[in-house]
Chain A
Amino acid sequence: MTTTKSLIKNNTFYDSLTLMRISKNASELKEIIQAVTVMGSENNKRMLDDVGLLTDNAKHATTNDLVISVSGKTNSAVESALEAIETMLVGVNPARITESVPRTIEAALERLPDANLALISVPGPFAKLEAEKALKRGLNVMLFSDGVSIADELELKKEAEKKDLLMMGPGCGTAIINGVGLGFANIVQKGQVGIVGAAGTGIQEVTTLIHQKGYGISNAIGTGGRDLSNDIGGIMMHKGIKILENDNNTTVIVLISKPPDPKIERTILEKSYTKPVIFCFIGGEAPEPSRTINAPIIVTVHTLEEAAIAAIALVKKEKWSKIIFSRPMEEVLRIAEREWLKLNPQQKYVRGLYSGGTLCSESFIILSRLLDNVYSNVTRSKFELKDVRNSQKHTCLDMGEEEFTAGRAHPMIDPLLRQQRIISEAKDQECAVILLDIVLGYGSHIDPAGELVNSIRDAKALCEKEGRYLSVVASVTGTDKDPQGLKNQIDKLIDIGVVLMESNAQAARMAALIATRGSTMQILEGS
């Protein structure tokens, strides 16, 4: 028995690729026979009729209405598919046709009086004002905007603390609140792992890896990158921990950040926790054993992937163990060897071109442990890359930094500068491996891999013409539920010969392995 149902969204328009992708993803759901999403024109309705998807309510749709029709083997499968489609659509901004969109917090609250969170993304100079308005009305705030002074941030966070509200940001790019992704979040399933993070793509990497392994997230609270500085004092990290401690759905807490200010780090470490807690302070030192940490279980990890693995193990109440590569070492070596055998002797450097800041920091740390002379714009050490336009020996470049984004969109949205940089790195005769991150999810470019493959192909061709080979290693931060489709993105990269690894950390290790012709294997095995 087949059940067919339609959902009509009046006066709504989504771009055609989104609709195509949603139809395809929905068609692949369990017990679903087919799913189609089209505008309600006469010819589209005729097509729906031809394929048995024209329901009574779809017949009344007009050319300005979006028709979503699904047929499946059971009523519940169809209902679930329609619900899943609604969720997929939530992540995509429709163009607005006739319904007015509120332009002020007041107007938005009139429309949605029960709302308890405001996501604010306005130019920096107006951000504080809007955040103040929201806090005044008792709303938790996610402040996507940056360009807010540290004094204003402190003022906002103190105000929020007084009112027992969240003030995520400024510059908070990612959060997942009760299953709803905000900013650059991925679509992940609900689960027991709660995260507080001062690292946007760090949260994305951990949440997606947890999802990919079949587990889920209760909440992921972003704090903004400066929260753990001495000036702000970790106000929102503390608040986030408190929320997760009191959240019945959270059984394991993960804290993610670049190295915090030592004084603030101490206040985090010395808190009392009632739930198992994982510290993932990228590039930071492990807490000293002498420090008293009151928690049932403490795990300190050094990579985002380890944070995900440890979190899952703690949810399962099992011991966790580190992994260097997901695949057997022999297979990893075979892949690496296949790449390095094609390199010329003068090709020896890794060039990491990153859209995600935390992912770049993580790779910088990993590569610095494996290789000498790794330079980056994410460090203020002697290995700081002075001229971001020119790579130096091994380089990890965060292309989301201000020097690249002034006057243009973030590289997770606009791939142009990364495309150009791939070509210019390929021209360098000493470049052996280009290392990339591809970040999916809400807000990211709708086809980031698709945008990069042409440049990668051109870069490889350029090297080939000059008698060289260019190795490209990448990882994709995303899930099967993301609007871009994880498999679709992975396939595009594999098709053009990119070495695709299961996590950002593994990609960095693979890049080092290739560039050193396998000589880092010993260090990796030792670790």
Chain B
Amino acid sequence: MISSTAKSISMGLNAAGMISKNGIIGYVHSIFERSFLIYTYDKRLISVVKKGLSNGPINIVIDIAANQSFPLTLKLGDIVTRLDDSLFIGQSLEILLNGSEIWRSSKKLLKLDDPINLNEKINLVKKLAIDQGTHDGLGQLIKYELEIINGDDVPNKSLNMIAKKALPFLKELISGFLTNNIMMVEEAAEGLIGFGLGLTPSADDTLSGIMTGLYILGNSFPQYKNYILTVNKAIISKVDGTRTTLVSKEFLEHSARGEVAETVNSVITDILSPSESLLNFRVNTLLKMGETSGTDITLGIILGLRMGLELIKEDIFRTIECN
């Protein structure tokens, strides 16, 4: 007998794809306070999250509130089966899929804000992250993002060990990107992947932010899209099961295609579009994501957008002049 029922409110496009067919999908891989992960038989992850958590490409958001518990009988190894309109998690939980919305990462072409506004908005994000972020991972580097982009010296005496060790690789990655040196990008990524604390290590979160920032920006500039995809592919070519955790691997692979949680996506689109109005709120929400993850991703977003804007700045000016 199934002990509990929940309703799926929304599910990411990738998650929907992974559970599209009737039959055994996989098993419960890990259980956290607000989510649990399903490891599918084709070695991918699906994240079942409580109401109030962000939509994401691999997320299934269910109507269990954040302060409610998952069923007590839910356990690791529970077999996950799709049967018509239900997803069964062992004997513990039936997730009703009927009526669930499909969420997809926004990949629309953005009409870019003018360069002065873009710069101001990135500076605002930087300020918020410095003031309100958690700087135990790579967050300490946000203050020095311009020095990192320009390859200048960063006073590293006060940096924590993680930030200190990651710094040269980040500089190398940016330099490789700006000089069209893909091998350099690969080498830098190799030094960063899986580095730092947590289930999604700090450097992975930053790489995720960089790749997503680049991807979304590149969407508006088709002439650079292929280059950006090549760079992102080079970064994730170094991702494997020995270099980082399974969860982080999954997130990085999606980030390379611009598929990230709504929280991350909306910060980037708010920075880039002229119509933003909630940037402050969205950045604060992102900074609260995970323990250090939100701040580490924010560093990535800032770096990714600065890198992308540096690459395409001639085109931006041209576009503005034409307008």
Contact = CB atoms under 8 A, between A and B. Distances in A.
Contact of A99 (B73, B76, B132, B291): B76
Contacts of B196: 16, 38, 44
A449 to B, nearest CB: 14
A288 interface: no
Given A17-B136, A41-B244, A99-B76, A408 B67 contact: yes
B67 A63 contact: no
Given A17-B292, A99-B76, A101-B75, A47 B244 contact: no
Interface string B127-171: 000001010110000000000000000000000011001000000
A63 B191 contact: no
B198 interface: yes
Given A15-B290, A16-B291, A63 B197 contact: no
Q: Which of A62, A96, A407, A414 is most buried by chain B, counting CB atoms within 10 A of its CB?
A: A96
Given A39-B201, A98-B76, A63 B246 contact: yes
Contact of A47 (B30, B195, B293): B195
Interface string A35-55: 011110111100100110000
A13 interface: yes
Given A42-B194, A63-B245, A15 B291 contact: yes
Interface in B270-303: 290-293
A26 B162 CA distance: 17
Nearest to A407: B67
A15 B67 contact: no
B199 A19 contact: no
A43 B206 CA distance: 15
A13 B46 CA distance: 18
A150 interface: no
Contacts of B290: 15-16
B243 interface: yes
Nearest to A41: B194
A249 interface: no
B30 A95 contact: yes
A409 B65 CA distance: 12
B161 A51 contact: yes
B39 to A, nearest CB: 10
Contacts of A47: 161-162, 165, 195
A98 B28 CA distance: 9
B215 to A, nearest CB: 24
Contact of A39 (B76, B77, B245, B293): B245
Contact of A43 (B67, B73, B132, B193): B193
Nearest to A102: B75
Contact of B191 (A15, A37, A43): A43
Interface string A94-128: 01111111010000000000000000001000000
Contacts of B194: 39, 41-44, 63
Contacts of A42: 194, 242-243
B182 interface: no
A19 B198 contact: yes
B225 interface: no
A486 to B, nearest CB: 18
Given A15-B290, A98-B30, A101-B76, A43 B197 contact: no
A503 B122 CA distance: 44
B196 to A, nearest CB: 7
Contacts of B33: 95
A39 B199 contact: yes
Contacts of A100: 75-77
A232 to B, nearest CB: 28
A210 B52 CA distance: 42
Interface residues of A, number: 35
Contacts of A63: 194, 241-246
A64 interface: yes
B96 interface: no
Contacts, number: 106
B202 interface: yes
A95 B32 contact: yes
B203 interface: yes
B29 interface: yes
B76 A43 contact: no
A20 B136 contact: yes
A230 to B, nearest CB: 34
Given A15-B198, A44-B194, A50-B165, A97 B137 contact: no
Contacts of B193: 41, 43
B291 A17 contact: yes
B72 interface: yes
B24 interface: no
A131 B173 CA distance: 58
A62 B241 CA distance: 9
Q: Which of A19, A62, A97, A408 is most buried by chain B, counting CB atoms within 10 A of its CB?
A: A97
A43 B243 contact: yes
B291 A64 contact: no
Contact of A103 (B73, B192, B243): B73
Nearest to A13: B199
Nearest to A37: B197
Nearest to A405: B67
A15 B291 CA distance: 7
B199 A95 contact: yes
A16 B137 contact: yes
B13 interface: no
A104 to B, nearest CB: 9
A38 B241 CA distance: 16
Contacts of B32: 95
Nearest to B165: A47
A507 B177 CA distance: 57
Q: Which of A16, A41, A50, A51 is most buried by chain B, counting CB atoms within 10 A of its CB?
A: A16
B133 to A, nearest CB: 12
Nearest to B39: A98
A36 B161 CA distance: 10
Contact of B201 (A41, A95, A101, A414): A41
Nearest to B65: A407
A408 B66 CA distance: 9
Interface in B50-70: 67
A174 to B, nearest CB: 21
A97 B37 CA distance: 9
A71 to B, nearest CB: 14
A118 to B, nearest CB: 14
Interface in A408-462: 408-409, 414, 454
Interface of A: 13, 15-20, 36-39, 41-44, 47, 50-51, 62-64, 95-101, 103, 122, 407-409, 414, 454
19 contacts: A13-B30, A13-B199, A15-B198, A16-B197, A16-B290, A17-B136, A19-B197, A39-B198, A41-B193, A41-B242, A41-B243, A43-B192, A43-B194, A47-B165, A63-B246, A95-B33, A96-B30, A96-B76, A100-B76
Given A47-B165, A63-B242, A96-B30, 5 more contacts: A15-B290, A16-B137, A95-B30, A407-B67, A414-B67
**A-B pairs with the 4 shortest C-beta distances?**
A41-B194, A16-B197, A16-B198, A43-B195
